[in-house]
Structure 1
Amino acid sequence: MSTLGTSPTALLSPGAVRSAVLPVVRQRVCALEPTLARICSYHLGFTDEHGDPSGAASGKLTRAGLMTAVAQGAGLAPEDVRTQAAALELLHNSTLIHDDIIDADDLRRGRPAAWKVFGAGLAILAGDALQALAVQMVVDDPGPGRAEISSAFTEALRLVLAGQSRELTVRLGPDAGIAQYERIVEEKTSALLQCALVTPALRAGKPEHVLTALRGAGRHLGLAFQISNDVEDIWGDPAVTGKPVRGDIGRRNPSFPVLAAFPVSERLRELWHADDAADAHLAEMAGLVEECGGRDEAERRSRGHLESALEHLGRAGLSPAATAELTALFDRIVNRTA
Structure 2
Amino acid sequence: MVRSAVLPVVRQQVSALEPTLARISAYHLGFTDERGEPSGAASGKLTRASLMMAAAAGVGLRPEDVVSQAAALELLHNSTLVHDDIIDADDLRRGRPAAWKVFGTGLAILAGDALQALSIQMVVEDPGPGRAEISGAFAEATRLVLSGQSRELTVRLGPDAGVAEYDRIVEEKTSALLECALVTPALRAGSPGHVVAALRGAGRHLGLAFQIANDVEDIWGDPAVTGKPVRGDIGRRNPSFPVLAALAAGGAAGERLLGLWQSDDSTAAHLREMADLVEESGGRRTAEQTSRDHFGSALAHLGRAELSPAATAELTTLFDRIVHRTT
Partner of residue 335, structure 1:
324
Residues 1:220 and 2:205 are matched in the alignment = yes
Shift of 1:224: 0.3
Q: Is the 8 A contact 1:40 1:126 kept in 2?
A: yes
Q: Counterparts of 2:152 and 2:234 in 1: how far apart (Å)?
A: 15
Partner of residue 317, structure 1:
306
Partner of residue 183, structure 2:
198
Residues 1:91 and 2:76 are matched in the alignment = yes
Partner of residue 220, structure 2:
235
**Could you give the per-residue CA deviations for residues 73-123 of structure 1, whole angstroms, max 9, x where no partner exists?**
100001100000000000000001111111111111111111111111111
Residues 1:269 and 2:238 are matched in the alignment = no
Name the SS of the counterpart of 2:124 in structure 1: helix
Shift of 1:175: 5.5
Q: Which amino acid aligns with 2:144?
A: L
Partner of residue 296, structure 2:
307
- For residue 143 of structure 2, the aligned residue among 154, 158, 176 is 158
Matches within 5 A, 1:18-167: 18-167=3-152
**Could you give the per-residue CA deviations for residues 150-199 of structure 1, whole angstroms, max 9, x where no partner exists?**
00000000101111111112224476210000000000000000000000
Shift of 1:328: 0.7
Q: Is the 8 A contact 1:29 1:41 kept in 2?
A: yes
For the aligned residues, what is the CA RMSD? 0.9
Name the SS of the counterpart of 1:262 in structure 2: helix
Matches within 5 A, 1:238-249: 238-249=223-234
Matches within 5 A, 1:173-192: 173=158, 176-192=161-177
Normalising by structure 1, what TM-score? 0.94
Q: Counterparts of 1:35 and 1:122 in 2: how far apart (Å)?
A: 8
Q: Which runs of 5+ in 2 are unaligned?
A: none
Q: Counterparts of 1:75 and 1:172 in 2: how far apart (Å)?
A: 46
Q: Is the 8 A contact 2:31 2:39 kept in 1?
A: yes
Shift of 1:236: 1.2
Residues 1:296 and 2:285 are matched in the alignment = yes
Name the SS of the counterpart of 1:252 in structure 2: coil
Partner of residue 196, structure 2:
211
Name the SS of the counterpart of 2:213 in structure 1: helix
**Could you give the per-residue CA deviations for residues 196-240 of structure 1, whole angstroms, max 9, x where no partner exists?**
000000000001000110010000000000001101111112122
Partner of residue 286, structure 1:
275
Shift of 1:262: 1.3
Q: Counterparts of 1:180 and 1:160 in 2: how far apart (Å)?
A: 15
Q: Counterparts of 2:157 and 2:317 in 1: how far apart (Å)?
A: 33
Give structure 1 regions of 4+ aligned residues with deviation exceeding 6 angstroms: none
Q: Which amino acid aligns with 1:130?
A: L
Q: Which amino acid aligns with 2:260?
A: L
Q: Which runs of 5+ in 1 are unaligned?
A: 1-15
Name the SS of the counterpart of 2:66 in structure 1: helix
**Could you give the per-residue CA deviations for residues 123-143 of structure 1, whole angstroms, max 9, x where no partner exists?**
110000000000000000000
